A and B are shown apart, each in its own frame.
Chain A
Amino acid sequence: MALHNLTIQAAHDLLRRGEVSAVELTQAALDRIDEVDPAVKAYVTVCEESALAEAAAADRRLQSGAGVTPLTGIPYGVKDCLSTIGVRTTCSSRILEDYLPPYDATVIARLRAAGAVLVGKQNMDEFGMGSSCENSAFFESHNPWDLARVPGGSSGGSAAAVAAGMGLFALGEDTGGSVRMPAGFCGVTGLKPTYGRVSRYGLIALASSFDSIGPLTHDAWDAALVLRTIAGHDPLDSTSLDAPVPAYGRCRRENLQGMRLGVPLEYFAHGIEPPVAHALRAALDHLEGLGAELHEVSLPHTDHAISIYYLILTAEASSNLARFDGVRFGLSHPLRDAGEEVDVLERYLQTRAHGFGDEVKRRIMLGTFALSAGYYDAYYLQAQRVRTLLRQDFERAFEKVDALIAPVSPTTAFRIGEKIDDPLRMYLSDVHVVAANPGGVCGLAVPCGFAAELPVGMQIIAPPLGEQVLFDVAGAYQATTDWHAARPKIDVRG
């Protein structure tokens, strides 16, 4: 297999045996970016020079043998909402187009310490607001399986990059499906860990109560390796959980004997395209064949998930995005002209009018409204109450089963432009993934087939801190299937 298409484990073996160097591996990823990214457009920024320097440092570490981790010398990219010291971090927004963070996000610092090699920053829907990567202020990203289609969102650049071999893994961020949904569209494995499992320090917040950083990889064991490195309590993030980090993925189950898997009725009820439903059905049969018991379960408040999610998200986002005011960093409008006095309100208005895209403005307005005096109880507070019911749905289900199996999306990747003018339809493409975030559970998307040559994703959902269960189910499934091993052929001629 070509160097750019390896799993982390395969690459690590080669590095350890000295059959390939970290510089070669990084160069292969950079070459692949040169080759296919003009067509896929996954990266906003490529840091070739620093990547090669980091790879050379990793090679020295590999040669000395001291402090080598499974990620030492592994090239990766990150969604452009994670702060990277000295590398511009844009959230795919005009307002941060030239912003250079003076510090690293905790996850970046941890990957750096492990010796992983950062090759660049990946495109996304602006501030994570979108499900197709079409809301990037810079350019659309394309699905490597069909360049006319979206990669999903908001971590679309990250999913597309991994699928296309531009980095062996990526870090994405999932607020309401933003890792799992594009992973499903692009045929890669995408993890949304339990909220608080991974530090958010340095992540440019969308909805602080929901944001979860997780890896996009080629298989579940790669995801486990990355999670092992980035998880754990961080004194800089008070919401990070002070729970021990297990050696995720070290114990691997051969089969699923005795595993109870729930099939939530509401997730299979309506709106699923027949080929997607068909692939899911086949996957359930396969899991049963591996020894799992399938149980029908009900999550009765699923219908409210989208409303809860958008109320809380817009409220928190309206506040989180208030700091983009043109005073200390980022875009400031109008540009300072000698002698021109600009009223501070005028500067706010102009900066934000120029700096934010339509979807961002829409959500800031919705969130500001939802928090306003007289509406707070009816919207934000009510959403928090229903959120408790949604959580209880999951708690009750997990009394009976170890994990849930559901589709990632009701459809395969849609065409670029297909839903962009219909925000509500766009929101509904996340119907199967949003509930996990307000529900407080963790979830993993894995490829489970194809429909008309486009990947179909299966979602595994486990209770809070049940990441190992996700890896067990997905690991046993991937050990006996090869959907995850498929790689797209990219027509770079366009």
Chain B
Amino acid sequence: MVIDKYEPVIGMEIHAELRTASKMFCGCAVVDTTVAAPNTAICPVCTGLPGAMPTVNEHAVTQAMLVGLALNCEINAFTSFARKNYFYPDLPKGYQISQFDHPLATDGWIEVATEASDPLRVGVRRAHLEEDTAKSFHVPSERAGVGAYTLIDYNRSGVPLLEIVSEPDMHSAADAYAYATKIREILRYLEVNSGDMEKGVLRFEANVSVRLRGARTLSTRTEIKNLNSFRALTRAITYEITRQMDAMESGETIAQQTLGWDEARDATFVQRSKEQAQDYRYFPEPDLPPLTIDRGWVAEVRATVPELPAAKFARFLEVYGLPENDARILVAERALADYFEHAAEAYAKDPADLSKWMVGELAYLMNRDGLTIEQVPVTPEALAKLVALVSDGTLNQNSAKEVLETMVETGKPPGTIVQERGLVQISDEDRLSQVVDEVLLENPEQVKSYLAGKTSLLQWFMGQVMRKTRGRAQPQMVLALLRERLTARQK
């Protein structure tokens, strides 16, 4: 196989908007640009009016430090801003204020789970602060005499952006997917980014090259820009690896290029060749003095780094004894994990039972109704109560599912629902014996078949009992009684 002969080498740049109240260099609010009316959160600074000057948003620096620390980076004591110069209508000043030779955070790493048994360690070369550009809307010509034009919304201009640059430590589209997922998960954990790909708050770029397996040096790479979904990321990298391997197989050389990803055609296309590469003419931003990051500040931020998913996963296995799969699902989202821990506080007897309900029935209902864990009107305490009702025999599984559905729909506590519906389980032996006897008496044909060896009818009898009790019969007791009565007749 060709793939065995070559080794893909992949590095990623992830741009993450930071969820600060105001923009990177001015006091304008950071708004949801997919919702807010265009050009309503703008000022002289973020529209690049003559004479306007930037000032650094300290909260953005703090959030960037938080990410840096979570990615095991060094937070540099001396950090400074630089101008990246290029012309585009969405870049109002004609330069982007970014960081160049003195980024805020450097030399980090994270571990990501892949198909391989050992986790993959991906180096984080740097994480630096910059400002987002405005958003362009290209309006095509609709009728003769009216030309195409472009509208620009500056609401996004100046939103804090963190660029996270990895080392070229990934070797497949799956590796890149796992890394990007992990970064997204960490950003969401740190509550600095919603991870909402559709809103464009997280954007990927991938550098791809392919070398002969065993080679030590890196080959010429291409850079794929504007990968705005996980699907695009995976497909573009897969496409590009194949394209480069095919080219090498047929003896062609790979050109250093900047590529775009054409979603419709499912193929990369050339945006710029090396010869057309932009010269950004970086130089130190003279409007902003360098930042000296006090060690005390770093320590303060370090103290606020929350428990990250990997550590939480290990703890959930150890402390709560959860199955790996449940734990993985719960820790993927901080709110979900917090919910679980709150519920486990209220029901310490069997946390694994709780997680089963959360990743099973509750997840199903949330998914059905399009609710997040923050939106679902069931408190962790109410869920704990429900599970306790099942455990102490008050409710059987089916009734409990019905109760949970009502809880999700109405927000009522389980006790109330159980009472309103009369769902308390019947576990009174005399009452159940009476119902079982009735069922056997009313169905002599089926009893005959059962006794003749059609033992699968046991479930059918069970169903009849449940119908008569409106589902409230304690199933284990019913089964025991049915077996007892039927065995007695056999003799």
Main secondary structure of the interface of B (DSSP, over half): loop
9-residue interface stretch from B141-149, B335-343, B379-387: B141-149
Cβ contact within 8 Å between A322 and B94? yes
Does A101 sit within 8 A of B, measured CB to CB?
yes
The chain A residue sitting closest to B291, CB to CB, is A238
Cβ contact within 8 Å between B51 and A338? no
Bound CA span A208–B283, Å: 12
Interface centre among B47, B51, B141 (most CB of A within 10 A): B51
Chain B 128-162 near chain A by CB (<8 Å), digits 1 or 0? 00000000000001001111111010000000000
Does B281 sit within 8 A of A, measured CB to CB?
yes
Bound CA span A348–B89, Å: 10
Chain B 29-53 near chain A by CB (<8 Å), digits 1 or 0? 0000000000000001001111111
Nearest-neighbour CB distance to chain A for B48, whole angstroms, equals 5
Cβ contact within 8 Å between A101 and B281? no
The chain B residue sitting closest to A207, CB to CB, is B286
The chain B residue sitting closest to A321, CB to CB, is B94
Does A134 sit within 8 A of B, measured CB to CB?
no
Chain A 108-135 near chain B by CB (<8 Å), digits 1 or 0? 0000000000000000000000000000
Chain A 299-322 near chain B by CB (<8 Å), digits 1 or 0? 000000000000000011011011
Cβ contact within 8 Å between B147 and A201? no
Which B residues touch A205, using CB under 8 A? 50-51, 287
Which B residues touch A345, using CB under 8 A? 87
Cβ contact within 8 Å between B48 and A238? no
Bound CA span A204–B50, Å: 5
Cβ contact within 8 Å between A319 and B89? no
Q: Say whether, besides A319-B83, A322-B87, A322-B95, A99 and B287 are in contact (CB < 8 Å).
A: no
Does B321 sit within 8 A of A, measured CB to CB?
no
Interface residue tally for chain B (C-beta within 8 Å)? 37
Cβ contact within 8 Å between B89 and A325? yes
Does A489 sit within 8 A of B, measured CB to CB?
no
Bound CA span A492–B148, Å: 54
Nearest-neighbour CB distance to chain B for A302, whole angstroms, equals 23
Nearest-neighbour CB distance to chain B for A299, whole angstroms, equals 24
Cβ contact within 8 Å between B95 and A341? no
Bound CA span A371–B100, Å: 14
Does B475 sit within 8 A of A, measured CB to CB?
no
Partner of B286, one of A89, A208, A339: A208
Bound CA span A376–B87, Å: 19
Nearest-neighbour CB distance to chain A for B399, whole angstroms, equals 63
Q: Say whether, besides A237-B53, A372-B279, A323 and B48 are in contact (CB < 8 Å).
A: yes
Does A72 sit within 8 A of B, measured CB to CB?
no
Does B92 sit within 8 A of A, measured CB to CB?
yes
Nearest-neighbour CB distance to chain A for B195, whole angstroms, equals 32
Chain B 271-304 near chain A by CB (<8 Å), digits 1 or 0? 0000000010111001111000000000000000
Which B residues touch A237, using CB under 8 A? 53, 55, 287
Cβ contact within 8 Å between A329 and B49? yes
Partner of A322, one of B51, B85, B147, B148: B85
Nearest-neighbour CB distance to chain B for A74, whole angstroms, equals 24
Nearest-neighbour CB distance to chain A for B66, whole angstroms, equals 23
For the A-B complex, the count of residue pairs with Cβ-Cβ distances under 8 Å equals: 117
Interface centre among B52, B88, B148 (most CB of A within 10 A): B52
Partner of A344, one of B89, B144, B281: B89
Nearest-neighbour CB distance to chain A for B398, whole angstroms, equals 64
Does B201 sit within 8 A of A, measured CB to CB?
no
Q: Say whether, besides A200-B53, A238-B289, A323 and B283 are in contact (CB < 8 Å).
A: no
Partner of A319, one of B145, B150, B281: B281
Nearest-neighbour CB distance to chain A for B80, whole angstroms, equals 12
Cβ contact within 8 Å between A328 and B51? no
Cβ contact within 8 Å between A368 and B48? no
Q: Say whether, besides A323-B93, A341-B141, A202 and B51 are in contact (CB < 8 Å).
A: yes
Does B377 sit within 8 A of A, measured CB to CB?
no
Does A209 sit within 8 A of B, measured CB to CB?
yes
Interface centre among A105, A325, A338, A372 (most CB of B within 10 A): A325
Cβ contact within 8 Å between A236 and B50? no
Does A96 sit within 8 A of B, measured CB to CB?
yes
Nearest-neighbour CB distance to chain A for B441, whole angstroms, equals 88
Bound CA span A316–B141, Å: 39
Cβ contact within 8 Å between A238 and B50? no
Partner of A341, one of B85, B144, B147, B282: B147
Cβ contact within 8 Å between B53 and A380? no
The chain B residue sitting closest to A340, CB to CB, is B147
Bound CA span A316–B89, Å: 20
Q: Say whether, besides A323-B48, A325-B87, A376 and B283 are in contact (CB < 8 Å).
A: yes
Interface centre among A105, A321, A373 (most CB of B within 10 A): A373
Bound CA span A64–B9, Å: 77
Nearest-neighbour CB distance to chain B for A389, whole angstroms, equals 19
Does B56 sit within 8 A of A, measured CB to CB?
yes
Cβ contact within 8 Å between B145 and A338? yes
Which B residues touch A368, using CB under 8 A? 281
Cβ contact within 8 Å between A338 and B146? yes
Bound CA span A82–B85, Å: 24
Cβ contact within 8 Å between A102 and B85? no
Nearest-neighbour CB distance to chain B for A312, whole angstroms, equals 9
Which A residues touch B260, using CB under 8 A? none
Nearest-neighbour CB distance to chain A for B258, whole angstroms, equals 16
The chain B residue sitting closest to A196, CB to CB, is B289
Bound CA span A344–B150, Å: 10
Bound CA span A313–B12, Å: 37
Cβ contact within 8 Å between B54 and A203? no
Q: Say whether, besides A319-B94, A322-B95, A328-B92, A239 and B44 are in contact (CB < 8 Å).
A: no
Cβ contact within 8 Å between B89 and A238? no
B236-293: which have CB < 8 Å to A?
279, 281-283, 286-289
Chain B 225-244 near chain A by CB (<8 Å), digits 1 or 0? 00000000000000000000
Bound CA span A341–B142, Å: 13
Bound CA span A91–B51, Å: 11
Interface centre among A91, A322, A345, A376 (most CB of B within 10 A): A322
Q: Say whether, besides A83-B50, A204-B50, A319-B83, A327 and B288 are in contact (CB < 8 Å).
A: no
Does A246 sit within 8 A of B, measured CB to CB?
no
Cβ contact within 8 Å between A328 and B47? yes
Partner of A239, one of B51, B141, B282, B287: B287
Nearest-neighbour CB distance to chain B for A121, whole angstroms, equals 13
Nearest-neighbour CB distance to chain B for A370, whole angstroms, equals 9
A188-218: which have CB < 8 Å to B?
200-205, 207-209
Bound CA span A283–B2, Å: 87
B51-94: which have CB < 8 Å to A?
51-56, 83, 85, 87-89, 92-94
Bound CA span A238–B93, Å: 18
Cβ contact within 8 Å between A102 and B50? no
A225-277: which have CB < 8 Å to B?
235-239
Which B residues touch A105, using CB under 8 A? 51
Nearest-neighbour CB distance to chain B for A239, whole angstroms, equals 6
Which B residues touch A329, using CB under 8 A? 49-50
Bound CA span A103–B47, Å: 13
Which A residues touch B144, using CB under 8 A? 339
Which B residues touch A316, using CB under 8 A? 283, 286
Cβ contact within 8 Å between B51 and A83? yes
Which A residues touch B83, using CB under 8 A? 319
Nearest-neighbour CB distance to chain A for B7, whole angstroms, equals 31
Cβ contact within 8 Å between B87 and A208? no
Which B residues touch A322, using CB under 8 A? 85, 87, 93-95
Contact sample, A vs B, 14 pairs, CB 8 Å cutoff: A99-B50, A200-B53, A201-B51, A201-B52, A207-B286, A238-B53, A238-B287, A319-B85, A323-B48, A325-B94, A328-B47, A328-B92, A376-B281, A380-B283
Besides A101-B51, A315-B283, 15 other A-B contacts (C-beta < 8 A) = A202-B51, A202-B52, A208-B286, A236-B55, A238-B54, A238-B56, A239-B289, A318-B281, A319-B283, A323-B94, A325-B94, A327-B92, A338-B145, A339-B147, A371-B85
List the 9 closest pairs (A to B, CB-CB), nearest first. Answer: A322-B94, A341-B147, A208-B286, A371-B281, A204-B50, A202-B51, A339-B145, A209-B286, A83-B51
